[in-house]
Amino acid sequence: MADLTQNEWTSQLESNPDAVILDVRTQEEVDEGSIPNALHIDIHKGQGFLDELEKLDKNQTYLVYCRSGNRSGQACTIMNQLGFESAFNLMGGINEWAGPIENK
């Protein structure tokens, strides 16, 4: 797992248009706004979170975020343990995000 600054995270996204943005916040947090095109899997769902991760392509690049960077860091660690090759944590989470936000 790598912790990336917003600039590094954005550069990773720009250089890899197939990368998946993964939002691991609660539904209530997502309802307040999210980074566009993010896949939402709530890390607080425990086994349900693990089950959803197992459905994903482990060879894909994942750019993971939460509110402050703590849960997304945990998610990246879990993903690495499950055999994901590339999971990058957004340091500071959406709280520090200066890019576009969409409301679903």
Question: What does the pLDDT average to over 12-23?
Answer: 94
Work out the pLDDT band at 22, boundaries 50, 70, 90: very high
Q: Which residues are catalytic?
A: 66
pLDDT of residue 104: 67
The alpha helices in the chain, defined as continuous H runs, are: 6-15, 27-31, 47-54, 70-81
Query: Could you report the per-residue pLDDT of 30-88, keeping only the tens digit for each?
Result: 999 999 999 999 999 999 999 999 999 999 999 999 999 999 999 999 999 999 999 99
DSSP assignment letter at 57: -
What does the pLDDT average to over 1-21? 91
Residues 87 and 75: beta-carbon distance below 8 Å: yes
pLDDT for the residue 16: 92
CA 2 from centre of chain: 12
State residue 103's pLDDT score: 86
User: Is the CATH code 3.40.250.10 the one for domain 2-96?
Assistant: yes
